[in-house]
């Protein structure tokens, strides 16, 4: 091998290890990889940022913004309103929920479609006294299946189209993925609804029932006696000299209850503090400050809420600023005016010091916040409330206008009149002019870590091809499978991409596998299309682990799932995908001579 090939393989291996390790977020890892290939000369410095101008990056950003516009129009809330009335048995409920999620995911971001349906699903499970684990994993998998049915359904399809264009052919059209993707999606959906959900452990740790967060066990009242050391001090100074983990969620003074009091409030004699803490930390506080237990009736959730203050259960979204941080490092109380009362992970309440726990995607938090500011606080922190939202049904005119704009962009790309990135960028501008969304909402709706990942990883994929690394891998695979028909090699590519996508971001998986697929197609002297379709489809099948796709991670906490739960249904689903996808690819995208 040449030195350049050793460098690119080493960079790829290093990058994949960092992706799997998860210590740094995937966009940071991608930037590290881009820096390495640029400094080593594998990518010229003047082309290092060419990935950010790639049509795939622009298209992904535009689709995310359009998804927000459709949400603002009231379309999604209208669907949610109908789902809230859903009747029937488990099979009917699963079929409707997963079917709608699959349909939305075909035209929206996968995680966005799932997040919109998650609160409704939890409410449905609570109303039927059923474990949400029955519904949430099927919902996450349905969002992945739906994404494979159209060009804009998921970033892997858009990236595969970009590689096709770089290879000298026109990019894929909007519904080029549909014949294969829809067949696979419907078969997968039938398996999930009829069989798959029965393989999932049914755990009853749903947060909305209060089982996960028992307020009574952790909340009590203490009084400032005349000899208390806290008299004259501010709330924010309560931990000075006392190594105790606690949260002041309320204060009673002269019979008046103040919930979520300001950190600047000065303690007075006979103040009663409502403290959230376990027994050990409460004992430390009392012994160190001279507080006295009031010994009144148990504190309930109702005692910690009012018209002005709310208790909110929320799940940490994939791109939340909280990921990897702690309550201490984020200074939640001072900076965001929110009290963190509890954290649950995989359905289990964590008992360690709350301010030292590093947040992970899918963690469920119990927060106390002022009602009027709660929506903005959650949006800033990147958390999704698990209670059903107040539905905002759009006016018919706004709803129709949003559908016309979005439908027009679809038609323009379907008939090849306008490039997909131009059509959807035009739709974004139209929604802005029609005031279906604001500029701030447009920028906030873009998943910037994904944009950075794509922009940084695309040059890495190009380097894999220009150094001959992709060709070297392809030649090795062709030698191993020399006696096998090309269809078997196609299956190998699907399975290899599935495996990679279960460990790293699916967009990164396509960037790595697409150059290899193109080189294999060149070695076989056949069209690259079936290999690109196979790779894009395999990248959408991250069904074995919670880390393979953000949708899987998002439902882990609310569903009470463990790492090993996903393969129970996911392994059979991936086998079904391979069995169904292979003949469909060969029928609709035959291995014709190049």
Sheet holding 272-276, edge to edge: 256-259, 247-253, 272-276, 219-224, 291-293
The neighbouring-strand residues paired with 593 are: 526
3-state DSSP call for residue 521?
A: helix
3-state DSSP call for residue 292?
A: strand
Mean pLDDT along residues 374-388: 80
Residue 24 predicted with pLDDT over 90:
no
pLDDT tier, 586 (very low <50, low <70, confident <90, very high otherwise): very high
Q: Is the separation of the CB atoms in 336 and 330 below 8 Å?
A: yes
Q: Is the separation of the CB atoms in 103 and 150 below 8 Å?
A: no
Q: Is the separation of the CB atoms in 250 and 257 below 8 Å?
A: yes
pLDDT tier, 352 (very low <50, low <70, confident <90, very high otherwise): low
CA 218 to chain centre: 31
3-state DSSP call for residue 7?
A: helix
Residue 206 predicted with pLDDT over 50:
no
Q: pLDDT value at position 76? A: 66
Q: Is the separation of the CB atoms in 228 and 289 below 8 Å?
A: yes
Phi, psi for residue 553 in degrees, rounded to 5: -65, -40
Residue 54 predicted with pLDDT over 90:
no
Q: pLDDT value at position 425? A: 93
More confident residue, 439 or 75: 439
Among 48-52, 315-319, 353-357, 520-524, name the one with the lowest average pLDDT.
Answer: 353-357
Query: How many helices and strands in the chain, by DSSP H and E?
Result: 24, 10
Q: Is the separation of the CB atoms in 414 and 175 below 8 Å?
A: yes
Q: Is the separation of the CB atoms in 494 and 538 below 8 Å?
A: yes
Separation between Cα atoms, residue 246 and residue 238, nearest integer Å? 9
Interhelix angle 566-588/133-147, nearest 10 degrees: 20
Q: E-assigned strands of 172-321?
A: 219-224, 247-253, 256-259, 272-276, 291-293, 309-316
More confident residue, 285 or 574: 574
Q: pLDDT value at position 208? A: 43
Question: What pLDDT digit, counting tens, does each position of 246-274 carry?
Answer: 778 888 888 788 887 888 888 888 888 88
Rounded to the nearest 10°, the torsion over CA 509, 515, 516, 520 is 140
The neighbouring-strand residues paired with 349 are: 344
Q: pLDDT value at position 217? A: 58
Separation between Cα atoms, residue 420 and residue 286, nearest integer Å? 64
Q: Is the separation of the CB atoms in 119 and 385 below 8 Å?
A: yes
Distances (CA, A) of 565 to 219, 287, 555: 33, 44, 12
H/E segment holding residue 103:
helix 90-105
Q: Is the separation of the CB atoms in 426 and 65 below 8 Å?
A: no
More confident residue, 470 or 388: 470
Q: pLDDT value at position 71? A: 78
Q: pLDDT value at position 314? A: 87
Structure tokens at 253: 């003074």
Separation between Cα atoms, residue 116 and residue 108, nearest integer Å? 11
Q: Is the separation of the CB atoms in 151 and 177 below 8 Å?
A: yes
More confident residue, 430 or 217: 430
Average pLDDT, the chain: 84
Structure tokens at 223: 């009084």
Q: Provide the percentage of residues in the chain whose pLDDT is more than 90.
A: 26
Structure tokens at 558: 């609310």
Nearest to 563 by CA among 541, 577, 548: 548
Mean pLDDT along residues 515-543: 93
Residue 211 predicted with pLDDT over 60:
no
DSSP string, 26-70: HHHHHHHHHHHHHHTTSS-GGGTTGGGGSHHHHHHHHHHHHHHHH
Q: pLDDT value at position 160? A: 93
pLDDT tier, 369 (very low <50, low <70, confident <90, very high otherwise): confident
More confident residue, 577 or 26: 577
Q: pLDDT value at position 210? A: 43
Domains and CATH numbers, the chain: 3-206+415-588 (no CATH), 226-289 (3.30.70.1450), 312-385 (3.30.70.1450)
CB atoms within 10 A of CB 407: 11
Mean pLDDT along residues 229-258: 79
Separation between Cα atoms, residue 400 and residue 415, nearest integer Å? 22
Mean pLDDT along residues 286-301: 70
Q: pLDDT value at position 301? A: 65
Structure tokens at 550: 């953000």
CB atoms within 10 A of CB 270: 14
Residue 138 predicted with pLDDT over 50:
yes
H/E segment holding residue 183:
helix 178-194
The residue behind tokens 């909305």 is 208
Separation between Cα atoms, residue 498 and residue 503, nearest integer Å? 9
Share in percent of the chain as helix, strand, coil (round to 5): 60, 10, 30
């Amino acid at each position: 091998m040449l030195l350049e090939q050793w460098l690119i393989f080493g960079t790829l291996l290093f990058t994949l290890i960092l992706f799997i390790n998860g210590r740094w977020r995937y966009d940071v890892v991608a930037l590290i990889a881009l820096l390495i290939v640029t400094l080593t000369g594998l990518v010229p410095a003047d082309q290092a940022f060419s990935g950010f101008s790639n049509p795939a990056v622009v298209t992904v950003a535009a689709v995310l913004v359009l998804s927000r516009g459709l949400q603002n129009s009231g379309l999604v809330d209208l669907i949610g309103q109908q789902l809230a009335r859903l009747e029937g048995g488990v099979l009917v409920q699963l079929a409707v929920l997963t079917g709608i999620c699959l349909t939305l995911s075909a035209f929206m971001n996968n995680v966005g479609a799932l997040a919109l349906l998650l609160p409704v699903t939890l409410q449905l499970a609570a109303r039927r006294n059923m474990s949400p684990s029955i519904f949430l994993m099927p919902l996450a998998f349905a969002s992945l299946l739906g994404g494979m049915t159209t060009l804009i359904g998921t970033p892997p399809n858009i990236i595969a189209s970009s590689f096709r264009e770089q290879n000298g052919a026109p990019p894929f059209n909007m519904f080029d993925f549909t014949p294969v993707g829809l067949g696979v999606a419907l078969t997968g959906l039938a398996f999930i609804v009829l069989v798959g959900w029965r393989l999932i452990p049914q755990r009853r740790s749903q947060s909305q029932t209060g089982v996960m967060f028992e307020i009574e066990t952790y909340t009590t009242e203490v009084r400032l006696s005349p000899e208390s050391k806290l008299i004259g001090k501010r709330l924010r100074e309560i931990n000075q000299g006392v190594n105790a983990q606690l949260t002041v969620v309320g204060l009673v003074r002269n019979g008046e209850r103040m919930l979520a009091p300001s950190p600047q409030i000065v303690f007075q004699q006979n103040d009663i503090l409502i403290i959230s803490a376990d027994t050990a930390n409460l004992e430390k506080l009392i012994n160190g400050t001279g507080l006295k237990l009031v010994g009144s009736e148990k504190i309930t959730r109702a005692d910690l809420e009012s018209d002005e203050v709310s208790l909110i259960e929320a799940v940490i979204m994939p791109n939340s600023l909280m990921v990897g941080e702690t309550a201490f490092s984020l200074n939640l109380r001072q900076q965001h005016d929110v009290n963190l009362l509890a954290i649950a992970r995989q359905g289990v309440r964590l008992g360690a010091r709350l301010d030292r726990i590093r947040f992970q995607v899918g963690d469920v938090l119990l927060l106390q916040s002022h009602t009027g500011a709660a929506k903005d606080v959650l949006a800033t922190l990147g958390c999704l409330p698990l209670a059903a939202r107040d539905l905002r049904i759009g006016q018919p005119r706004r709803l129709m206008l949003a559908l016309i704009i979005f439908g027009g962009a679809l038609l323009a790309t379907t008939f090849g009149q306008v490039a997909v990135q131009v059509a959807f960028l035009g739709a974004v501008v139209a929604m802005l002019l029609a005031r279906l969304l604001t500029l701030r909402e447009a920028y906030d709706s873009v998943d910037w870590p994904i944009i950075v990942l794509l922009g940084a990883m695309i040059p890495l994929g190009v380097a894999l091809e220009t150094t001959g690394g992709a060709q070297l891998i392809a030649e090795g695979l062709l030698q191993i499978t020399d006696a096998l028909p090309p269809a078997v090699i196609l299956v190998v590519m699907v399975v290899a991409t599935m495996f990679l996508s279960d460990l790293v971001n699916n967009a990164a998986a396509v960037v790595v596998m697409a150059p290899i697929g193109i080189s294999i197609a060149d070695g076989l002297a056949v069209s690259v299309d079936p290999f690109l379709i196979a790779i894009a489809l395999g990248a959408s099948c991250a069904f074995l682990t919670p880390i393979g796709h953000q949708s899987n991670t998002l439902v882990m906490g609310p569903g009470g799932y463990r790492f090993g739960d996903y393969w129970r249904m996911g392994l059979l689903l991936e086998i079904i995908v391979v069995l169904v996808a292979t003949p469909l690819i060969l029928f609709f995208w035959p291995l014709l001579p190049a």
